[in-house]
Structure 1
Amino acid sequence: MDNVLSMLDAIPEETIAITVYLLGSALVLACWYGIAIRLPKLLGGISWIVVFAILLTPTASDGNNASIAPAFFGIVFGVLTKDTPLVLSNASLILFVIGLGAIIGFLWTKYTANKVSLENSKKNSPL
Protein backbone atom coordinates (compact mmCIF):
# COMPACT_ATOMS: atom_id res chain seq x y z
CA MET A 1 0.00 0.00 0.00
CA ASP A 2 2.90 2.34 0.71
CA ASN A 3 4.17 1.87 -2.85
CA VAL A 4 0.80 2.91 -4.29
CA LEU A 5 0.63 5.99 -2.08
CA SER A 6 4.18 7.01 -2.92
CA MET A 7 3.38 6.60 -6.64
CA LEU A 8 0.30 8.84 -6.25
CA ASP A 9 2.42 11.48 -4.50
CA ALA A 10 4.51 11.78 -7.67
CA ILE A 11 1.44 12.65 -9.79
CA PRO A 12 0.21 16.27 -9.59
CA GLU A 13 -3.10 16.74 -7.77
CA GLU A 14 -4.68 18.54 -10.74
CA THR A 15 -4.03 15.57 -13.02
CA ILE A 16 -5.59 13.15 -10.54
CA ALA A 17 -8.62 15.42 -10.06
CA ILE A 18 -9.23 15.83 -13.80
CA THR A 19 -8.80 12.10 -14.42
CA VAL A 20 -11.24 11.16 -11.65
CA TYR A 21 -13.71 13.79 -12.91
CA LEU A 22 -13.56 12.57 -16.52
CA LEU A 23 -13.82 8.90 -15.56
CA GLY A 24 -16.72 9.67 -13.22
CA SER A 25 -18.46 11.64 -15.97
CA ALA A 26 -17.94 8.77 -18.42
CA LEU A 27 -19.44 6.37 -15.87
CA VAL A 28 -22.47 8.62 -15.31
CA LEU A 29 -22.99 9.01 -19.06
CA ALA A 30 -22.76 5.25 -19.58
CA CYS A 31 -25.35 4.69 -16.85
CA TRP A 32 -27.58 7.38 -18.31
CA TYR A 33 -27.26 5.73 -21.73
CA GLY A 34 -28.73 2.59 -20.16
CA ILE A 35 -31.73 4.67 -19.10
CA ALA A 36 -31.94 6.70 -22.32
CA ILE A 37 -32.23 3.67 -24.61
CA ARG A 38 -35.42 2.68 -22.79
CA LEU A 39 -36.99 6.09 -23.41
CA PRO A 40 -38.52 7.15 -26.73
CA LYS A 41 -35.74 7.83 -29.21
CA LEU A 42 -36.06 11.63 -29.29
CA LEU A 43 -36.45 12.03 -25.52
CA GLY A 44 -33.58 9.64 -24.81
CA GLY A 45 -31.22 11.44 -27.19
CA ILE A 46 -32.06 14.89 -25.91
CA SER A 47 -31.81 13.82 -22.27
CA TRP A 48 -28.37 12.29 -22.93
CA ILE A 49 -27.22 15.54 -24.56
CA VAL A 50 -28.50 17.56 -21.59
CA VAL A 51 -26.72 15.33 -19.06
CA PHE A 52 -23.54 15.50 -21.18
CA ALA A 53 -23.74 19.29 -21.34
CA ILE A 54 -24.33 19.68 -17.61
CA LEU A 55 -21.43 17.40 -16.72
CA LEU A 56 -18.81 18.33 -19.28
CA THR A 57 -19.28 21.95 -20.41
CA PRO A 58 -16.04 23.70 -19.42
CA THR A 59 -15.51 27.22 -18.16
CA ALA A 60 -12.69 29.13 -16.50
CA SER A 61 -12.94 29.69 -12.76
CA ASP A 62 -12.14 33.06 -11.21
CA GLY A 63 -9.54 33.92 -8.62
CA ASN A 64 -5.81 33.63 -8.10
CA ASN A 65 -5.67 29.92 -8.88
CA ALA A 66 -8.01 30.06 -11.88
CA SER A 67 -8.26 26.90 -13.90
CA ILE A 68 -10.73 24.96 -15.98
CA ALA A 69 -13.93 23.93 -14.20
CA PRO A 70 -17.36 22.58 -15.17
CA ALA A 71 -19.87 25.30 -16.02
CA PHE A 72 -22.42 23.70 -13.70
CA PHE A 73 -20.19 24.53 -10.73
CA GLY A 74 -20.07 28.13 -11.97
CA ILE A 75 -23.88 28.21 -11.98
CA VAL A 76 -24.06 26.80 -8.45
CA PHE A 77 -21.40 29.24 -7.22
CA GLY A 78 -23.18 32.14 -8.94
CA VAL A 79 -26.50 31.21 -7.33
CA LEU A 80 -24.91 30.93 -3.89
CA THR A 81 -23.14 34.29 -4.22
CA LYS A 82 -26.08 35.91 -6.06
CA ASP A 83 -23.81 36.80 -8.98
CA THR A 84 -26.28 36.97 -11.87
CA PRO A 85 -23.73 37.58 -14.68
CA LEU A 86 -21.80 34.47 -13.60
CA VAL A 87 -24.99 32.37 -13.65
CA LEU A 88 -26.02 33.70 -17.07
CA SER A 89 -22.60 33.25 -18.66
CA ASN A 90 -22.28 29.65 -17.46
CA ALA A 91 -25.90 28.84 -18.37
CA SER A 92 -25.32 30.22 -21.85
CA LEU A 93 -22.29 27.94 -22.25
CA ILE A 94 -24.36 24.91 -21.25
CA LEU A 95 -27.17 25.93 -23.60
CA PHE A 96 -24.64 26.37 -26.41
CA VAL A 97 -23.37 22.81 -25.90
CA ILE A 98 -26.97 21.51 -25.80
CA GLY A 99 -27.74 23.33 -29.05
CA LEU A 100 -24.57 22.05 -30.71
CA GLY A 101 -25.38 18.51 -29.57
CA ALA A 102 -28.94 18.83 -30.89
CA ILE A 103 -27.65 19.95 -34.30
CA ILE A 104 -25.14 17.09 -34.43
CA GLY A 105 -27.85 14.63 -33.35
CA PHE A 106 -30.20 15.91 -36.04
CA LEU A 107 -27.54 15.60 -38.73
CA TRP A 108 -26.62 12.10 -37.50
CA THR A 109 -30.27 11.03 -37.61
CA LYS A 110 -30.61 12.32 -41.18
CA TYR A 111 -27.39 10.55 -42.17
CA THR A 112 -28.45 7.20 -40.73
CA ALA A 113 -31.96 7.50 -42.22
CA ASN A 114 -30.44 8.24 -45.64
CA LYS A 115 -28.00 5.35 -45.26
CA VAL A 116 -30.82 2.93 -44.43
CA SER A 117 -32.94 4.14 -47.36
CA LEU A 118 -29.99 3.69 -49.73
CA GLU A 119 -29.42 0.14 -48.46
CA ASN A 120 -33.11 -0.67 -48.89
CA SER A 121 -33.16 0.73 -52.42
CA LYS A 122 -30.13 -1.39 -53.33
CA LYS A 123 -31.85 -4.52 -52.00
CA ASN A 124 -35.00 -3.79 -54.00
CA SER A 125 -33.12 -2.93 -57.17
CA PRO A 126 -33.44 -5.47 -60.00
CA LEU A 127 -29.74 -5.11 -60.83
Structure 2
Amino acid sequence: MVLEQLSGIWANFLHLFDSIPEDNIAISVYVLGTVLILWCWYSIAKRLPSPLGGITWIILFAIIATPTISEGPNSEVAPAIFGLLFGVLTKDSPLIWSNLALIVFVIGVGLIVGFCWSKYTANKSTKQSTVAKNISPL
Protein backbone atom coordinates (compact mmCIF):
# COMPACT_ATOMS: atom_id res chain seq x y z
CA MET A 1 0.00 0.00 0.00
CA VAL A 2 2.76 2.47 0.94
CA LEU A 3 4.78 1.42 -2.10
CA GLU A 4 1.82 2.16 -4.38
CA GLN A 5 1.41 5.61 -2.85
CA LEU A 6 5.10 6.35 -3.29
CA SER A 7 5.02 5.22 -6.91
CA GLY A 8 2.02 7.51 -7.51
CA ILE A 9 3.81 10.45 -5.94
CA TRP A 10 6.93 9.68 -8.00
CA ALA A 11 4.88 9.47 -11.22
CA ASN A 12 3.25 12.84 -10.48
CA PHE A 13 6.64 14.37 -9.73
CA LEU A 14 8.07 13.10 -13.02
CA HIS A 15 4.98 14.34 -14.84
CA LEU A 16 6.07 17.90 -13.96
CA PHE A 17 9.12 17.48 -16.20
CA ASP A 18 6.99 16.59 -19.24
CA SER A 19 6.04 20.24 -19.72
CA ILE A 20 9.68 21.43 -19.71
CA PRO A 21 11.64 21.04 -23.00
CA GLU A 22 14.45 18.49 -22.85
CA ASP A 23 17.06 21.01 -24.00
CA ASN A 24 16.35 23.28 -21.04
CA ILE A 25 16.64 20.40 -18.58
CA ALA A 26 19.91 19.21 -20.13
CA ILE A 27 21.50 22.66 -20.09
CA SER A 28 20.31 23.32 -16.53
CA VAL A 29 21.77 20.03 -15.29
CA TYR A 30 25.02 20.73 -17.16
CA VAL A 31 25.39 24.26 -15.75
CA LEU A 32 24.50 23.23 -12.19
CA GLY A 33 26.83 20.23 -12.37
CA THR A 34 29.65 22.42 -13.66
CA VAL A 35 29.13 24.94 -10.87
CA LEU A 36 29.04 22.16 -8.27
CA ILE A 37 32.24 20.52 -9.57
CA LEU A 38 34.07 23.85 -9.74
CA TRP A 39 32.91 24.80 -6.25
CA CYS A 40 34.17 21.47 -4.89
CA TRP A 41 37.49 21.89 -6.69
CA TYR A 42 37.80 25.44 -5.33
CA SER A 43 37.70 24.05 -1.79
CA ILE A 44 40.65 21.81 -2.74
CA ALA A 45 42.51 24.38 -4.86
CA LYS A 46 42.57 27.06 -2.16
CA ARG A 47 44.74 24.73 -0.06
CA LEU A 48 47.27 24.38 -2.89
CA PRO A 49 50.11 26.88 -3.39
CA SER A 50 48.89 30.19 -4.82
CA PRO A 51 49.59 29.90 -8.55
CA LEU A 52 49.04 26.12 -8.72
CA GLY A 53 45.54 26.24 -7.22
CA GLY A 54 44.39 28.94 -9.61
CA ILE A 55 45.94 27.25 -12.64
CA THR A 56 44.33 23.90 -11.87
CA TRP A 57 40.96 25.62 -11.38
CA ILE A 58 41.29 27.35 -14.77
CA ILE A 59 42.26 24.09 -16.50
CA LEU A 60 39.33 22.22 -14.93
CA PHE A 61 37.00 25.07 -15.89
CA ALA A 62 38.22 24.92 -19.50
CA ILE A 63 37.84 21.15 -19.69
CA ILE A 64 34.35 21.11 -18.21
CA ALA A 65 32.79 24.37 -19.38
CA THR A 66 34.16 25.06 -22.88
CA PRO A 67 31.18 24.82 -25.24
CA THR A 68 31.11 23.63 -28.83
CA ILE A 69 28.47 22.63 -31.37
CA SER A 70 27.94 18.88 -31.66
CA GLU A 71 27.89 17.15 -35.04
CA GLY A 72 24.90 15.56 -36.73
CA PRO A 73 21.36 16.42 -37.80
CA ASN A 74 20.20 17.42 -34.31
CA SER A 75 23.29 19.40 -33.31
CA GLU A 76 23.21 21.20 -30.00
CA VAL A 77 25.61 22.95 -27.65
CA ALA A 78 27.87 20.40 -25.95
CA PRO A 79 31.06 20.44 -23.89
CA ALA A 80 34.16 20.54 -26.06
CA ILE A 81 35.73 17.69 -24.12
CA PHE A 82 33.03 15.34 -25.45
CA GLY A 83 33.77 16.47 -28.99
CA LEU A 84 37.47 15.95 -28.35
CA LEU A 85 36.92 12.44 -26.98
CA PHE A 86 34.57 11.58 -29.84
CA GLY A 87 37.17 12.83 -32.32
CA VAL A 88 39.85 10.69 -30.69
CA LEU A 89 37.62 7.60 -30.77
CA THR A 90 36.65 8.12 -34.42
CA LYS A 91 40.14 9.37 -35.42
CA ASP A 92 38.62 12.53 -36.91
CA SER A 93 41.57 14.97 -36.92
CA PRO A 94 39.60 18.18 -37.70
CA LEU A 95 37.20 17.44 -34.85
CA ILE A 96 40.09 16.77 -32.47
CA TRP A 97 41.96 19.96 -33.38
CA SER A 98 38.91 22.22 -33.35
CA ASN A 99 37.80 21.10 -29.89
CA LEU A 100 41.35 21.08 -28.54
CA ALA A 101 41.87 24.61 -29.89
CA LEU A 102 38.73 25.80 -28.08
CA ILE A 103 39.87 24.29 -24.79
CA VAL A 104 43.39 25.72 -25.11
CA PHE A 105 41.94 29.14 -26.02
CA VAL A 106 39.82 29.16 -22.85
CA ILE A 107 42.84 28.09 -20.79
CA GLY A 108 44.90 30.90 -22.34
CA VAL A 109 42.26 33.55 -21.69
CA GLY A 110 41.83 32.27 -18.14
CA LEU A 111 45.57 32.42 -17.48
CA ILE A 112 45.78 35.98 -18.82
CA VAL A 113 42.81 37.11 -16.72
CA GLY A 114 44.27 35.33 -13.67
CA PHE A 115 47.65 37.02 -14.18
CA CYS A 116 46.02 40.46 -14.49
CA TRP A 117 43.88 39.78 -11.42
CA SER A 118 46.88 38.72 -9.33
CA LYS A 119 48.79 41.85 -10.35
CA TYR A 120 45.75 44.01 -9.51
CA THR A 121 45.31 42.48 -6.06
CA ALA A 122 49.06 42.69 -5.32
CA ASN A 123 49.08 46.37 -6.35
CA LYS A 124 45.94 47.07 -4.34
CA SER A 125 47.37 45.51 -1.16
CA THR A 126 50.63 47.45 -1.61
CA LYS A 127 48.73 50.74 -1.88
CA GLN A 128 46.64 49.93 1.19
CA SER A 129 49.71 49.16 3.27
CA THR A 130 51.36 52.42 2.11
CA VAL A 131 48.24 54.42 3.05
CA ALA A 132 48.11 52.72 6.43
CA LYS A 133 51.75 53.68 7.11
CA ASN A 134 51.09 57.33 6.15
CA ILE A 135 48.04 57.57 8.41
CA SER A 136 49.77 55.94 11.36
CA PRO A 137 50.65 58.52 14.10
CA LEU A 138 53.91 56.75 14.87
Q: Same fold (TM over 0.5)?
A: yes
TM-score by length of 2: 0.89
3-state SS in 2 of match to 1:59: strand
Q: Does 1:116 align with 2:125?
A: yes
TM-score by length of 1: 0.96
Structure ID, larger Rg: 2
One-letter identity of the residue aligned with 2:26: A
Q: Does 1:17 align with 2:26?
A: yes
Aligned pair in 2 of structure 1 residues 38, 126: CA closer, same or farther (>3 Å)? closer
One-letter identity of the residue aligned with 1:83: D
* Equivalent in the alignment of 1:45: 54
3-state SS in 1 of match to 2:78: strand
Aligned-pair distance for 1:126? 4.7
> In 2, distance between residues paired with 1:93 and 1:43?
22
Any unmatched runs of 5+ in structure 2?
1-8
> In 2, distance between residues paired with 1:108 and 1:99?
14
One-letter identity of the residue aligned with 2:23: E
Any unmatched runs of 5+ in structure 1?
none
> In 2, distance between residues paired with 1:126 and 1:76?
58
| Alignment: residue pair count | 127
